[in-house]
Amino acid sequence: MLTRRLLLAAATTPLLAPLLTPRAAWAAPEALKFRDLYVRGRELTEKAKALAGREVRMIGYMAPPLKPEIDFFVLTKLPMSTCPFCETEAQWPDDIVLALTDRPVEPIRYTDLIRATGVFETGFETDPDTGFMSFIRLRGARYEKL
């Protein structure tokens, strides 16, 4: 059976090119709201497109990490008690952001508001180690509880 991950990967490979945009270290992180991600469906807003490769800060919630000693978490608009990204059968929302960290994640309760900062990436990508697929990412993410 064709899994949704494979389907997503097959459908979106050309979108990976913008990921290579170099990080603009000189710019202060720009605030980006969840509602400013998409115009409609998966169509990114002009603001989101323009921020690709730049450092942004987003406010949201940390879905419970998949396991201890893991270097990513899912940033959600509203609290989610399960990792929406890890449950293929779950009715997970479209507007989630994969936050990739440089060190193991220290979990923050999923109902606590956090501010995450990282380099904004768009386009489907499959993590080679876990097979997880994402469309929006914050790379080199730092985070703090608000």
**Which residues are near other proteins by CB under 8 A?**
1, 4-5, 7-8, 11, 33-35, 38-42, 77-81, 91, 109-113, 146
Q: Which lies closer to other proteins via its Cβ, residue 20 or residue 81?
A: 81
CB of 24 to other proteins, least distance (A): 27
Q: Which lies closer to other proteins via its Cβ, residue 40 or residue 103?
A: 40
Q: What is the 3-state secondary structure (H, E, C) of 14-65?
A: HHHHHHHCCCCCCCCCEECCHHHCEEECCEECHHHHHHCCCEEEEEEEECCC
Q: Which lies closer to other proteins via its Cβ, residue 54 or residue 77?
A: 77
Query: Contact 126/133 with Cβ under 8 angstroms?
Result: yes
Q: Return d(Cα 32, Cα 102) in angstroms, integer.
A: 21
CB of 26 to other proteins, least distance (A): 27
Q: Which lies closer to other proteins via its Cβ, residue 39 or residue 50?
A: 39
Residue type, 32: L
CB of 97 to other proteins, least distance (A): 14
CB of 103 to other proteins, least distance (A): 24
φ, ψ dihedrals at 125, nearest 5°: -145, 140
